[in-house]
Amino acid sequence: MNQIIPFSKERMLSGDRVTGKLHLGHYAGSLHNRVKLQSRYDTLVMLADVQALTTHFDHPENISRHLREITLDYLAAGVDPNESTIFIQSMVPEIAELTVFFSMFVTVNSLRHNPTIKAESGNRSLGELYYGFLGYPVSQTSDIAFCKATVIPVGEDQLPHLELTRKLIRRFNELYRPVFPEPQAIISEMPRLVGTDGNAKMSKSLGNTIPLDCTEEELAFKIRKAVTDPARVHKDDPGHPEICPIFSYHQAFRSQEADKIQEACQMGSIGCTMCKRCLFKDLNLMLEPMRERRAMYTRRSDDIEDILKTGTRRAQELAKETLGEVREAMGLDYFNHNQVN
Ligand code: TRP
């Protein structure tokens, strides 16, 4: 049995690829949980710029712009820099170092058969897959391990990665010495958001998102343009909420009202216009405080840099400490803490 490593406060970590500003899909997936739980745990929020490179290595110039944008999204969504450590993945090189160590005992097959990797790679053959992309679940293991996080709020698509993380951590602890605690996923209670076009995934690359920073007018426009049940031509035609993106948003953001909406739609007693209006009203109410916080932080742009620097410094300290233990456990602590002078 591996010994459980005690903490005064358990540590929570999750992150986002730095590929573009955040949208309601991110919020429903894990961001709302991070905000909700940030005072209960010692919270780290990671800007996954290295992971973004696995798919965007040919346009690295976009990453620094998105770093600021996403940090603002976090702060607007309610991530409190006094409660949470926001940091930049590439500035903690120990994460990459740890990835090399974990990669020694992960098989290519387990990565290739990972269902999320499969879906994201469009079932491309091994001959067309990049090493870094195939291996990003290993890098994600290091994101979690370097700070010994045990609580990982994620969307359901990340579960295979977390399973691998647990496996690799267990294996490391067995092979060398118990250094890492086993993490648990906290899965969002909100359903995965479909896109405004009805596509199964809300995603920037599909152009079907509702961004967290949208104005009232943009929100109204996005909702007005969103597809609904195509079988409903007249407003009293019976609807099929199970295939309607608008209904899925009711379920995610107005769960108390969702049963009523479902029934009214199925009976044809509420039309799409009215149904969309109800959704707009509540979503707008949810986004309003985010707009206020965004405006406040936008006025204090120096603060954003300070928040990132302070957070990254803390992550670097944790990483140095953990990697010291890792090297010692693996017998790689030559000389005096690897100092040659
Ligand atoms: N892959 C995650 C996503 O796309 C982002 C991420 C990177 C992450 N490292 C992580 C999530 C570590 C949880 C823990 O959403």
Concatenating the DSSP letter of every residue in 290-309 gives: HHHHHHHHHHTHHHHHHHHH
Poorest-pLDDT segment among 3-17, 49-63, 217-231:
3-17
Q: Judge if 221 and 164 occupy the same domain.
A: no
- Answer whether 49 contacts ligand 1 (Cβ < 6 A): no
Mean predicted confidence (pLDDT) in 183-209: 91
CA 93: distance to chain centroid? Answer: 21
The CATH number of whichever domain residue 51 belongs to comes to 3.40.50.620
Q: Please tell me whether residues 267 and 219 are part of one structural domain.
A: yes
Q: Is 35 helix (H, G, I), strand (E, B) or coil?
A: helix
For ligand 1, is residue 144 a contact (CB within 6 Å)? yes
Does residue 341 fall inside a structural domain? no
Q: What CATH code is carried by the domain that includes residue 218? A: 1.10.240.10
By alpha-carbon position, which residue is closest to atom 9 of ligand 1?
Answer: 140
Residue 338 lies inside a defined structural domain of this protein: no
Q: With the CA atoms of 131, 25, 181 and 169 taken in that order, what torsion angle do they form, in degrees rounded to the nearest 10? A: -20
Are 239 and 179 contained in the same domain? no
Cα(295) to ligand 1 centroid in Å equals 27
In a shared domain, residues 247 and 316: no
Cα-to-centroid distance, 120 and ligand 1 (Å): 14
Give domain status of residue 133, yes or no.
Answer: yes
* Chain mean pLDDT for the chain: 93
Question: What range does the domain containing 181 cover?
Answer: 11-193+301-330
Q: Using CA atoms, how far apart are residues 42 and 293, in angstroms rounded to an integer?
A: 22
| Separation between Cα atoms, residue 289 and residue 77, nearest integer Å | 8
Residue 262 lies in a domain: yes
Residues 16 and 158 reside in one and the same domain: yes
Instruction: Flag whether 257 is in a domain.
Output: yes
Residue with tokens 């060398």: 176
Residue 87 to residue 197: CA distance in whole angstroms: 33
Q: For a ligand 1 pocket test, name from 37, 51, 74 the mutation site with the most ligand atoms within 8 angstroms of its C-beta.
A: 51
* Same domain? 279 vs 314: no
Nearest-atom index, ligand 1, CA of 29: 15
> In angstroms, rounded to a whole number, what is the distance separating the alpha carbons of residues 19 and 52?
6
Q: Closest ligand 1 atom to the C-alpha of 48?
A: 7
Say yes or no: CB of residue 16 within 6 Å of ligand 1.
yes
Q: Whose CA is nearest to atom 2 of ligand 1?
A: 16
What distance in Å separates the CA atoms of residue 10 and residue 128, rounded to the nearest whole number? 40
- Interatomic CA distance for residues 102 and 135, integer angstroms: 10
- How far apart CA 229 and CA 236 sit, in angstroms, is 13
Within this chain, do residues 21 and 70 fall inside the same structural domain, yes or no? yes
Distance between CA atoms of residues 35 and 77, nearest Å: 8
32 and 119 in a single domain? The answer is yes
Q: Does residue 88 lie within any of the structural domains?
A: yes
Residue 14 in tokens: 């999750």
Q: Does one domain contain both 275 and 232?
A: yes
**For residue 49, which amino acid is it?**
D
The residue that leads in pLDDT, 122 or 41, is 41
Residues 245 and 325 in one domain: no
Residue with tokens 């992309």: 133
Q: How is 160-197 classified by DSSP, letter by letter? A: HHHHHHHHHHHHHHHHT----PPPEEEE-SSPPPPPTT
pLDDT (tens digit per residue) in 124-177: 777 889 999 999 999 999 999 999 999 999 988 999 999 999 999 999 999 999
Cα distance between residue 298 and residue 22, in whole Å = 16
Give distance in angstroms: CA of 290 to centre of ligand 1. 23
Please report whether residue 202 resides in a domain.
Answer: no
- The whole-number pLDDT of residue 2 equals 46
Same domain (yes/no): 135, 267: no
User: Which DSSP symbol is given to 198?
Assistant: S
In 4-150, which ranges are continuous DSSP H helix? 24-26, 32-37, 49-56, 61-77, 93-103, 108-112, 115-120, 131-134, 136-145
Please name the residue whose Cα sits nearest to atom 6 of ligand 1. Answer: 15
Are 309 and 278 members of one domain? Answer: no
Tell me the percentage of the chain whose pLDDT exceeds 90: 80
Domain assignment of residue 204, yes or no: no
Pocket test for ligand 1, best of 17, 54, 73 (most atoms within 8 A of CB): 17
pLDDT at 122: 83
Atom of ligand 1 nearest to the CA of 26: 15
Number of domains composing the chain: 2
Distances from the Cα of 283 to the Cαs of 83, 134, 180, 211, in angstroms? 26, 37, 40, 12
